[in-house]
Amino acid sequence: MSFDLVSLGLVCADVMVKPVDSLPDRGTLGLVPQLEMHLGGLAAVTAIAFRRLGGKSAFVGSIGNDGFGDYLYQHLAKNGVNLDGVKRSETEGTPATVVLLSGEGERTFLHHAGTAKTFSEDDVDFAFLWRGKMVHWGGPAVTPGLDGEPIGRIFKRAKEAGLKTSFDTCYDGSGVWFPRIEHALPYTDIVMSSLEEARQYTGKEDPDAIADFYLSFGPQIALIKLGSEGMFVKDANQTFKIPAHRVTPVDTTGAGDASCGGFLFGYLQGWDMERCAKLANAVGALTVQAMGGSNGIANPEQAFALMDKAE
């Protein structure tokens, strides 16, 4: 079987607690009205969003042989994502995050890296990668074994094999930033980054300057996610901003990751860049209206209808 998109990197279990506006005193019990578990992780959410839009996707990464791992594996499989490239570890636990959501929607994370911290270039089956049309990496800082020179080599080999490449940045809690992605940039077609993260990776403030910085290393397209302000997209010939749909958010976790799946779906369909961005914007709007980053798209028609809706 061949795929449109092979998504490489992080999958994790998100244990979401809402609302949490204060913590109980140590040693006591606090009650919360909502506690749920959902699939998270940049690469996995992108793969599911892409699949729900009608594309063929595969996930490549690592999980533990534990309950969290079983849950994630089953959820990906249920959504039609190919898992032949997944490694399961007997020694490391599955990546997991406790997400504390305040009443106002602000998120606080407690993350266990698990197998993501040991997954490396040696774990990647390149013959499997070459079954895709595009390799997407999600993402820097949360898959440290791929950061820097390894992802550069992987993307170089992907380009030599005739594949397209893309990556989506992640917040870097250790403050390394640009060195994690610099070796991949010359072999990258599309860079995707939230504005807050992009400012740290590039040292630039304005979306246009950020895009120029990324494009100067070789990528064709830079997509800067602006949250509630929409998206900024630039290539060698065009620059435009797509305003966000006005919706009432329930949970913003994973919305940016899902929107990447929307953009890549359109890109691999051969759409023009603006239409790709409109679909990404619609996917993001649907995602924030549901708990969990992989649950917002009920069917492709729903996303396409919102994409075509006038702002």
pLDDT value at residue 294: 85
Q: Which residues pair with 276 in a beta bridge?
A: none
pLDDT value at residue 50: 98
pLDDT value at residue 114: 96
pLDDT value at residue 36: 94
pLDDT value at residue 293: 79
Task: Write out pLDDT tens, residues 220-247.
Answer: 999 999 988 999 999 999 999 999 999 9
pLDDT value at residue 109: 86
Fold of 3-20+34-306: UDP-N-acetylmuramoyl-L-alanine:D-glutamate ligase (3.40.1190)
Q: For the chain, what is the HEC assignment?
A: CCEEEEEEECCEEEEEEECCCCCCCCCCCCCCCEEEEEEECHHHHHHHHHHHCCCCEEEEEEEECCHHHHHHHHHHHHCCCEEEEEEEECCCCCCEEEEEECCCCCEEEEEECHHHHCCCHHHCCHHHHCCEEEEEEECCCCCCCCCCHHHHHHHHHHHHCCCEEEEECCCCCCCCCHHHCCCCHHHCCEEEEEHHHHHHHHCCCCHHHHHHHHHCCCCCEEEEECHHHCEEEECCCCEEEECCCCCCCCCCCCHHHHHHHHHHHHHHCCCCHHHHHHHHHHHHHHHCCCCCCCCCCCCHHHHHHHHHCCC
pLDDT value at residue 310: 53
pLDDT value at residue 105: 72
Domain edges within the chain: 3-20+34-306
Q: Give the β-pairing of 239-242 and 12-18.
A: unpaired
pLDDT-flagged residues of the chain (< 70): 1, 310-311
